[in-house]
Every structure is written in structure tokens, then in C-alpha cells.
Amino acid sequence: MATFRTVGVEIGTSGIRAIELSIGAQYPALITYGQMPLPPKAVVDGEIVNRAAVVDQLKYLWSESDFSTKRVTVGVAGLRALIRELEVANVPEKELDNVVKFQGQEIIPFPADQAILASRMIGDVTKDDGSIAKKVLIAAAHKGLVEPVLSVLVDAGLDPIAVNLSALAIVRAGTIGLEPISGAEAIVSIGAGLTVVVVHENGIPKFVRTIGQGGDDVTEAIASSLDSPFEDAERLKWNLTLPGPQYATAQNVAIQTTNTLVNEIKNSVDYYDNQSATIKIQRVVVTGGGSLLEGLIARIQQPLRVPVVTARPLSGIDTSGYAMVPEDLAKLEPTLTTVLGLALPEPSGVKPLNLLPEEITEKQAIAKIRKRVTAVCALVIILLIVYLGYGITQYFTSKSDINNLTTQNTQLQAQATALNKVAAQNAELQSFVAALTPLIQDEVNWPTVVSRLQSDLSPGQYITSISFSNYSSSATGAGLTSTSTTGPSITSAGKTITSSSIVAELTINVVGTNGYTDYTSWDSKMNSDPMFTTPQVTSIAELSANASTYSPSSPIQFVATTYLTTQALSNRYKLFQVAK
């Protein structure tokens, strides 16, 4: 549930009180409280006499406190503020206000043009003839009471959003934490200058009486009796039980002075009971700073036949977030009932009785509209500035982008020219590679071949000549076992290889002195060398002249044919492949 803040302001006889609540949680929470004293006679009978003093103290209170807003609900009380019930015809709700204004003149004791009215319907009434009438609760106050209060608030820089009767606020806060009762209940709020008696039934005020007597009357009586300053008499009033002749005199004066107040409270209760045939007052709740006078509550209880209890408005308020010790809050509690009730909203579904004059309400509505229009205009201007700024930014950004693109294009053209040169050089290289590849692809590593041939000779054998020719797949010769369309089948180092593994044909002339059959050792070594295919000895001859018979010691020569395999190729082609 969303929370919101409310601020109530009470301008009383002895001082100004303001309280801020947070509404919306399970219990209203006390956020801020502040109070400032007023000089004697600054407010008399609920009406402001010393405007300057009230304005100054309001300003000082707001400057020294942590209130989060200047929007406030203020209370009014006095002999020119009242609550009445009225029966009106069963008219449509849209016509109810006009009917109330017309019929209200009959029960309001001041001129209609000087009255500020607020009303809400509280039920239907069935009349003797069976017709239905509306029962309406009317709150009324004289403009002369309300307008000065609003004036000092505005001069202090505050924004009054509602004017509430203090009697209604007392009912809202005075019943907090008390067990509900069947019947009526009287709440007596004893202030410094006024005492307000409100009788309600289930939260609906039925009777309000303002008694022009309060705690200051006791103070003034003590000061007069002892011929002492008001401030000294006030100190004596709150210490009546201390020993000493001054305190004893002050106590007697306090009792005599409050006798009238006690009798007026009793008369108010009796009056309501006598007016109501069925519903009687079942309990009296006492609150207000004046109720703290020693022995006063007991003296109020004495003539009444119903229980008298003290109000505990903070019992339904979350005070955990407020920086004040519970003991100090408890001492302060009786003085908070009215201002707390001003900050508390009406229960859900109950229409507030706001006595804010229509002209001020209209001004506030116009101001709210102007504020919204101003906010909208400001927003439009901001959007236009943002849009214009965005357009200018985009223009310069685009211009910068064009310059960047032009620079990049110039760079790309230069790179393209360079790449064209690289491409031409690459084409030349590829042409060179194409021409060079056939020359080195089948290049034989002759030094290695000759070395391997010599290493395969036995001692006393020498190679006198080597001749070679490029390999032809259609040839037959040394080591060829068959021919086919896929080329001959050839063996090398005991393994059959394909014609694709052959690169050249060799004819080798070997001279030896170790015997006629010694070529076989050479043939065996060659047969195991993977660089050559199995050799074929094509001729053997003795080197001795006119030799007709074989002699083991005679030198011989033989001619052999073999093929070189890819093992005899040089590695220059492989290196060339990596390099390119």
C-alpha cells in the first residue's frame, strides 16, 4: 500500500503545535513533531489577536524542525465554530450542498454571508408519514475565525490545504486505543484557553460545546492571588503538591477556579443525556494539556455517574522512528490529541469536512493547473532544447562522419593502389612458380644417390659409370614384375610400390675383384634400400683377357638396372612449397 505524509497544525492559546505523520502502513507513523510557545493573549478564545507573534513563531518552528512539506491542515476552535445535525429533503446528492446552505441558515448563529459550511450525509431518516429524509452533519465556522488563521499560515510561507474543526480532530484521535462502547461518549479536551466537549456516537459528532475556560484561567487566578508574574504562577500551577505557603495558596485557588469548569463539563454531559431519550453517555475521555493539573481528573469523575478515563492517542501511532524517549512522549501525549487528529485523515469512505473557503480552494485549483501547465511547458521547452541540441549534434556528427569517410576513402584508394601493385607482383610470382615447379618437382638429390650407391658396394667394388633416363610408365626392366593400365608393379625394400613412386631409371657399371658371384652382396644391399627398386643384373664379365674359365680371383664387372624412388628427390620442392 502506498504511503503519504500529512501535517497537522494547531494554533492554541499557549502555543503552536505541528505534527507530521506517515499514513499507509498498518499504523500511522510519527515522523516529526514541533511546538513553539506564544506570548500571553496572542490567541484568545481560539481567535488570533497578535498576528506578528504567531507568524514569527510559525516561521521559526518550520526553520528549526524537519517537516518535509509546507502543505498543512489547520484546526479552528472557538465560540464561532460549531457542529450541527440537520434533516433535509431526500434530494439528489448533487443538490445536497445547495439545500444545506439554504437550510443551514436556520441553525447557524451568524450571517450566511459570513459562514463557511461543510457537510456530509450520515444517514437516512424515515419520518412519521413514511417519507425519507437525509440526516446531514454540518461543520460551520465564521469567516472572521478562519481567515486570520489562513492569513498567518500564508504569511509564514505555509500552504493550507484544509481547515478542520478541532472538535472533529479530537474525536479522530481521542478514541484511539480505547475499547468501543455501545452508546455515546464524551471527549473533554482542556486546553490553555478553551475547553471543548464533544459527544459522539461511533465517531459521528452529535454535540459540541466550547467552554471559554482552560488552564490559563487557573494561572491568572494564582498570579492575581499571589500578586506574582504569569510565568511564576504557571510554575506554581504545575507543582501544587510541593510544601510551602505559596503552593498551598495556589492549590486552593486552582480548586476554586476549576470548580466552574468541572460544573460546566457535568452540565454538558447532563444536557446531552436529557436531550436523548435512548442513547446516553457511557464514558468520558479527558485530554489536553489542562487535564494534567493535579487532581483535576478525579474532581471531574466525582459528580459523574460514568467512567472517566484519559486519552491515549499515541497508543495507535508508531513512534519507533521518532527520536524521543517513551517517558518524555508519555508526558507530552495529553497535549497531542488535537494536533494529531488534524494530521489523521478521515476513515476510508468518510467525506472530510473541509472549511477552506471556496475562493482559496479555487485559487489552489488554479494554482495547481498553472503549476501543471508550467510543468508541461517546461517539459516541452526542455524537449525542444533536447531535440534542437540533438539535431545540432547530429549535424556536426554527420559532418565529422563525412570528413572521416572522405579520409578513409583516400586511405582506401591508396591501399587499393598498393594492393594492385601487390596483386601484379603476386601474379608475376605465380607465373614464376608455375615455370619453376616442373623443374624442381622431380629434382633428384644426386649427391645423396651416389653416396648411397657407394655405401651399398662391398670392399673392392667400384662404380665405373652411371647413366639415367626419365622414368616411363610403359617401360619394362629392372624390378618390373608386371604391366597394366595403371602402370607396372615394382618392389622396393621388399614392398610393392606404384609407378607414381618412381622418378628415374639408372644403369650402373660396377667393377670388382672379389669373385664372380660377389655381385649378390651388392644386389642384397640395394634390394633393402628404399631409395632404389630391386636391381636387375643384366650382364657379368671377367676383366682378364682371353679368360675362358672362371677364376675366383679374377676381376669382374657387371651391369645392373634399377629405378630411383621418390625417396631420392631433393627437398627443395618441399621448401619451395612452404616458401610460396
DSSP string, 60-124: HHHHHS--S-SEEEEEE-STTEEEEEEEEE---HHHHHHHHHHHHTTT-SS-GGGEEEEEEEEEE
C-alpha cell at 104: 443551514
**Where is the domain boundary, 356, 389, 410?**
356
pLDDT band at 291; cut points 50, 70, 90: very high
Side-by-side strand order, sheet with 132-142: 81-89, 132-142, 115-126
Q: Establish if 500 belongs to a structural domain.
A: yes
Q: pLDDT value at position 95?
A: 80
Beta strand extents in 513-570 (DSSP E only): 536-542, 556-565
pTM, two decimal places: 0.63
**Where is the domain boundary, 401, 436, 471?**
436
Same domain flag for 1 and 68: yes
- pLDDT tens column, 465-474: 888 887 655 5
Name residues whose C-beta falls within 8 Å of residue 566's C-beta, 6 or more positions apart in sequence: 501, 502, 503
The pLDDT of 222-227, averaged and rounded, is: 94
- pLDDT tens column, 382-405: 888 888 888 787 788 778 888 888
pLDDT band at 579; cut points 50, 70, 90: low
Bridge partners of 36, per DSSP, are 16
Same domain flag for 29 and 67: yes
Question: Which carries the bigger pLDDT value, residue 173 or residue 2?
Answer: 173
Same domain flag for 430 and 513: no
Q: pLDDT value at position 546?
A: 52
The pLDDT of 58-70, averaged and rounded, is: 95
d(CA 329, CA 314): 9
Same domain flag for 479 and 347: no
Identify the weakest region by mean pLDDT among 16-20, 26-30, 143-147, 488-492. 488-492
Q: Is the pLDDT of residue 360 over 80?
A: no
Q: Establish if 129 belongs to a structural domain.
A: no
Q: Which domain covers residue 237, as residue numbers?
A: 179-310
Q: Establish if 212 belongs to a structural domain.
A: yes
Q: For residues 551 and 500, is the Cβ–Cβ distance under 8 A? A: no
Of 262, 265, 215, the closest CA to residue 240 belongs to 215
Q: For residues 9 and 153, is the Cβ–Cβ distance under 8 A? A: yes
What is the domain-level CATH number for residue 319? 3.30.420.40
Identify the weakest region by mean pLDDT among 72-86, 128-142, 179-193, 487-501. 487-501
pLDDT band at 199; cut points 50, 70, 90: very high
Q: pLDDT value at position 64?
A: 93
Same domain flag for 183 and 159: no
d(CA 40, CA 233): 13
Same domain flag for 147 and 260: no
**Where is the domain boundary, 405, 436, 467?**
436
Question: Which carries the bigger pLDDT value, residue 481 or residue 206?
Answer: 206
Q: pLDDT value at position 479?
A: 47
- The total of structural domains in the chain comes to 4
d(CA 225, CA 501): 142
Same domain flag for 155 and 186: no
Q: Establish if 98 belongs to a structural domain.
A: no
Same domain flag for 249 and 299: yes
Of 325, 558, 565, the closest CA to residue 444 belongs to 565
**CA dist 191 to 55, 166, 217, 329, 419, Å?**
21, 11, 10, 18, 100
- Compute the C-alpha angle 71/74/78, nearest 5°: 165
Identify the weakest region by mean pLDDT among 100-104, 184-188, 372-376. 372-376
pLDDT band at 365; cut points 50, 70, 90: low
Q: Establish if 146 belongs to a structural domain.
A: yes
What is the domain-level CATH number for residue 547? 3.30.70.60
Same domain flag for 377 and 471: no
Q: Establish if 503 belongs to a structural domain.
A: yes
Q: For residues 140 and 370, is the Cβ–Cβ distance under 8 A? A: no
Q: Is the pLDDT of residue 123 over 60?
A: yes
Q: Is the pLDDT of residue 482 over 50?
A: no
The pLDDT of 35-46, averaged and rounded, is: 92
Q: Is the pLDDT of residue 556 over 80?
A: no
The pLDDT of 17-36, averaged and rounded, is: 93
Q: pLDDT value at position 436?
A: 72
Q: pLDDT value at position 96?
A: 80
Same domain flag for 199 and 241: yes
The residue behind cell 525542444 is 384
Q: pLDDT value at position 544?
A: 62
Same domain flag for 156 and 193: no
What count of other Cβ atoms lies within 10 Å of the Cβ of residue 54? 25
Q: Establish if 91 belongs to a structural domain.
A: no
Q: Establish if 96 belongs to a structural domain.
A: no
Mean pLDDT of the chain: 85
Same domain flag for 230 and 372: no
The pLDDT of 331-348, averaged and rounded, is: 93
Share of the chain above pLDDT 70, in %: 91
d(CA 558, CA 556): 7
- pLDDT tens column, 238-286: 999 899 999 999 999 999 999 999 999 999 999 999 988 789 999 999 9
Q: Estimate the crossing angle of helix 51-64 against helix 143-155, to 10 degrees.
A: 50
String of DSSP letters for 387-424: HHHHHHHHHHHHHHHHHHHHHHHHHHHHHHHHHHHHHH
pLDDT band at 487; cut points 50, 70, 90: very low
What count of other Cβ atoms lies within 10 Å of the Cβ of residue 151? 15
Q: pLDDT value at position 484?
A: 38
Question: What is residue 503's DSSP assignment?
Answer: E
